[in-house]
Amino acid sequence: MRGKLVGMNGDRAVAYAVKQADVDVISAYPITPQTIIVETLAEYVNNGELDAAFIPVESEHSALSAAVGASLSGARVFTATSSQGLALMYEILWIAAGLRTTIVMAIGNRALSPNINIHCSHDDAYAARDTGWLQFFAENVQEAYDLTLMAFRISEDHRVLFPSIVNLDGFILTHALEGLYVLEDSDVKAFLPKKEPVNPVDPGKPMTYGALDLFDWYMEHRRQQYASLESARPIIKEVFEEYSNLTGRKYSPVKSFNTEGAEVAVMILGSSAGTARYVARKLAEKGKKIGVISLTQYRPFPAKELREAIKDASVVAVMDRSVSFGSPGAQLFMDVSATLIRSKVRPLLFNVIYGLGGRDLTPAHIEKVVDLAESVMRRGEAPEEPVWVGVRGDEL
């Protein structure tokens, strides 16, 4: 592994990556569990370790608004939020993407209210999924650091020019102390692009941003934005491969474990993927072959890579750390269903709701999911409604 081994929690790892990225502007409003990120960056600026403008604003809406303006001026920009803060930013999420800013934002994933909960759900990540931002999910503290650096490289690539979100599970990663390898500042500087703004705000050369766009052109511009985001796919893979070669840490849009020849697979996002792989290893000792699939890249959704990863599966349990009220399944399940409906050969799918509000996902829970998946394979019929694991009352 290239780099120096240090101990940090996920929030500090993100802040350290931002410092190494030599950002110009940080717009910040504190909210648990991401507060440590912006607090650490404030310390870096105050101590003279980072030459950046630190803007303490009055709300998350203002934090992202300031970030949009700074990015359009040509600055390298970072902000962070969680949960209700992301909800307050929602209006500006669409604007930041539509104006093709290159903001990088970390989300310490946290459940949305009510009731008030400061622990992990993926509600906030899913709330941003349709806004036009690139999205990445970290599985551990190392990935939170690595993906933050890669997000700057990807967003600022002139073939991309979209803002990025790096998701890390609240408290599970944001506050967990882990060993990670950090690169030398010189390596980061060589990896990241030079700051070359596109059409920056310049009083001497006036331009219009966010102009009125009615029925005569709005649809064409949305189609252009859709096509541009799709074109980011090969650049993301290119950056993943380059960073993998630089560090010795393998990155790809879809992470597959033990899927070759596995008839049963579990699909999951974020920190819980490690638990699922642990169970798959234990079951392999008993002669059971269980595949585990997780996504590093969530938007744009890696449909092609996902189809390849589950080509041998007869049943896939899609696990969501969220619930979509009134829907036949939660958000990741809907993405997977939409992806596979175009395939000639499709596995049976069922949705599992787990871990809401920070509830622990244990190996025993994963084993229950696997047992259900094997039962589904025998019967040839999947549950129509989401099933809940680790909840009081009726469950798996």
- The CATH number linked to 155 is 3.40.50.970
Q: What pLDDT was estimated at residue 396?
A: 62
Cα 143 to its chain centre, rounded Å, is 11
In whole angstroms, give the CA distance from residue 122 to residue 145. Answer: 19
The verdict on residue 358 lying in a domain is yes
181 has pLDDT over 90: yes
Q: Residues of the chain with pLDDT > 90: what percent?
A: 92
- Band (pLDDT 50/70/90 cuts) for residue 126 is very high
What string of DSSP letters covers 367-384? Answer: HHHHHHHHHHHHHT---S
Task: Quick: pLDDT tens for 76-111.
Answer: 999 999 999 999 999 999 999 999 999 999 999 999
The first and second tokens of residue 82, run together, are: 């969680």
Same domain, 147 and 279: no
The verdict on residue 393 lying in a domain is no
Residue 56, beta-bridge partner list? 28
Nearest to 365 by CA among 388, 393, 331, 381: 388
Count: domains in the chain: 2
Q: What pLDDT was estimated at residue 196?
A: 85
Compute the C-alpha angle 255/261/267, nearest 5°.
35
Q: Which of 247, 276, 308 corresponds to the end of one domain?
A: 247
Q: What pLDDT was estimated at residue 1?
A: 75
Same domain, 238 and 273: no
Same domain, 352 and 224: no
Average pLDDT for 149-160: 97
Same domain, 220 and 323: no
The verdict on residue 201 lying in a domain is yes
Q: What pLDDT was estimated at residue 393?
A: 85
Average pLDDT over the chain, rounded to an integer: 96
- Band (pLDDT 50/70/90 cuts) for residue 197 is confident
For 47-56, b/e burial (b = at least 16 CB within 10 A) is eeebebebbe
Same domain, 274 and 233: no
* Count of CA atoms in the C-beta half-sphere (13 A) of 197: 16
Compute the C-alpha angle 251/12/158, nearest 5°.
50
380 has pLDDT over 80: yes
Same domain, 311 and 241: no
Same domain, 278 and 368: yes
Question: What is the bridge-based pairing of β-strands 254-257 and 348-353?
Answer: unpaired
Q: Report the CATH number that the domain containing residue 366 is assigned in CATH.
A: 3.40.50.920
Same domain, 270 and 239: no
In whole angstroms, give the CA distance from residue 26 to residue 241. Answer: 28
Q: Is the peptide bond before 328 cis (omega within 30 degrees of 0)?
A: no
Determine the straight-line distance between the first and last CA of the chain, rounded to whole angstroms.
40
Same domain, 260 and 190: no
- Band (pLDDT 50/70/90 cuts) for residue 395 is low
Average pLDDT for 177-185: 97
Same domain, 336 and 211: no
Average pLDDT for 329-346: 94
Q: What pLDDT was estimated at residue 58?
A: 97
The verdict on residue 396 lying in a domain is no
Pure H helices in 99-217: 123-127, 141-156, 185-191
345 has pLDDT over 90: no
Same domain, 242 and 271: no
Same domain, 168 and 275: no
Residue range(s) defining the domain that contains residue 330: 254-388
Q: What pLDDT was estimated at residue 209?
A: 87
The verdict on residue 122 lying in a domain is yes
Q: Which of 247, 276, 293 corresponds to the end of one domain?
A: 247
Q: Which of 193, 218, 247 corresponds to the end of one domain?
A: 247
Backbone dihedral angles phi then psi of residue 264, each to the nearest 5 degrees = -115, 135
The verdict on residue 395 lying in a domain is no
